[in-house]
Structure 1
C-alpha cells in the first residue's frame, strides 16, 4: 500500500473504517454494499428525516470569531432569525460558532460560552455552494437548543445534518486532508502541480484538482483547519505539508512552483 511504501507516513494512513470495510470486502457498488446498500448499481439512500418541530426559535448570537461571519449573519436574516448583536449572548440565546478545525467544545471553552446553548456550523465552504448544512453539538448541548438550530437552518428547505462534536466537522477534515496530501506530493516532486491537477480531473473525473480546491477555499483556511485538528487530536496525520504551510503563510497559490 502507499502507506507502507512511505514507511507508515501518518498522512497516508487509511482510516480504521476504510481498512475494516476493505478487509470485509465491503467495497461499495462492486460488492453491492459499502456505506450504502446498492440495488441494480444504485445507492439506496435513506429518506431524509423530518426536521424537529419547535414552538419558537430563541434569539441567535454569533461568535465574533466565526468563519464567514457576515455571510452567516445574512443567512440568519434570510431565514428570519432574531439576531443578538451584543458583545456576549443573553442568557436564553442560541449561540452559534463556526470554527475552522476546532471542535465546538474547544471553542466554547476558549470563548467562555455556555456549552449547553452552543451549536457549531461548518462554513469552510460558502453556504450557497453547498447542498446540505452541517451542524455540530458538544456533549453538553441541550436538546432544545440542538432542535432549535436544526429547525432554523431548514426553514428554506435545504437539508441539515447534525453530527456529534468533531474537530473539522466532516467536509473540513476531508477537504483539508486531500489538499494536504496533494501538497505533499508536489513537495516531494513526484509530479508538477499542473500534472497533478490534470491527473485528478481527467483520470478521476473530479470537477477540480486538489490544489485548485485548496485555492478555492483558501490555503490559509485549509492550513488553519489542519493546525487546529492536529491540536485537538494530537494526530500527526494532520501535520501540514511544507508546500501548503509556506504558500498559505505568504499568500501564494498552491499551484505556484519555485523558480
Structure 2
C-alpha cells in the first residue's frame, strides 16, 4: 500500500510539471543578411527577441558563432542583455565575418540554465569567397644590387571589386622579366604567395649579374600587375 501511495504521488507531480516550449523563451531570431562576402570586414546584425514573459533577471542571452567574431570584443561568443525596443525585449549583436568561405552557424541561447531543457536557436549564414580584383605592389626599394648583392622585398595587398580584403587561400604568382620580355631568372625567397587572414602576399627578390641601369620588372599574376626597378 505504501508503495502504491508513493507511486500515485510521483505520478501526480509529474503530470503537473509543465514542459516549456522554446517559443516561451524566444519569440524570434534573425540575421540581417544570410549571405555575405568572406572578406574579413563585412558585418551581419544578429537579433534575438525574447518572450514578453521573461523575468527581469533572466534577460541575458549568449550569442555564439562558428566563424568570425562579435564586435567589439572580437570573441566567438557575446553575452547581451535584452532591452525593450519598440515594445519588444530585444538582444542585438554584430558579427564580423572572417576571410574563410563556407557556412557560418550563429546561435543564441539563454544565459541561465534550465532544468526543463536547453533552448537554442540557430541561423546559417553563407560566407562566399571574396575574389581578387586588384593588387597593389609596394617594394622596399626601387633599386637593387647586381650579382645577388641586395634584395627587394615586395608586398602585395589584394582587394576585391568593392575595395575590401579577399578571402584566405587566394594564390598569386611572382615572376621577373627583362625589358624585352625574357625571364630575369632572379631568386625569390620567403615566398608568401597565398593569402591568409590579412589579404597580403610577399616575397624577397634578388638578381644575378646585370649591367647597372638595366630595368627589371616583377609581375604578380592573378590578376597581372607589375612594378619596375633598376639595377644599381
With the length of structure 1 as denominator, give the TM-score of the two structures.
Answer: 0.23
Q: Which one has the largest radius of gyration?
A: 2
More strand as a share of residues:
2
More helix as a share of residues:
1
